Amino acid sequence: MDDMNLEISLDIGSESISVPYLTRRMTFAANGTVTDDRYTLNPNPSIDWDDGELLRLLDDTLTGMRAEIRHRMRAIRQGAAS
């Protein structure tokens, strides 16, 4: 089995355009170990990474996503225990 690449990105956009702001790239070896794991901010010149408001919005979005994921994981665990 070959290495498997996985990419997860947070895109911000509208109906006409979407820009990946934050990307996580992972590579798994055939035995399942992670051989590469990195986060990158999109170097797109239209994104001002020095804009404090943008960074606060991104942080708030990630916090909300994390809470939703934890909520769903709890529901799955509780369902498995039933």
Residue 82 has pLDDT above 70, yes or no: no
Average pLDDT, stretch 9-38? 82
Which DSSP helix (H) or strand (E) runs through 46? none
Domains: count for the chain:
2
Is the confidence at residue 5, as pLDDT, over 80?
A: yes
The per-residue DSSP string of 22-74 comes to EEEEEEE-TTS-EEEEEEEE---TT--TT-HHHHHHHHHHHHHHHHHHHHHHH
Range of the domain at 75: 48-82
If asked whether residues 43 and 63 sit together in one domain, one would say: no
**Is there a single domain that holds both residue 28 and residue 59?**
no
pTM above 0.75, yes or no: no
Q: Which of 19, 67, 42 is nearest to 75 (CA)?
A: 67
CB 41 within 8 A of CB 22: yes
pLDDT tens across 27-74, in order? 998 888 999 999 888 777 677 778 888 888 888 988 999 999 999 999
For residue 72, the model assigns a pLDDT of 92
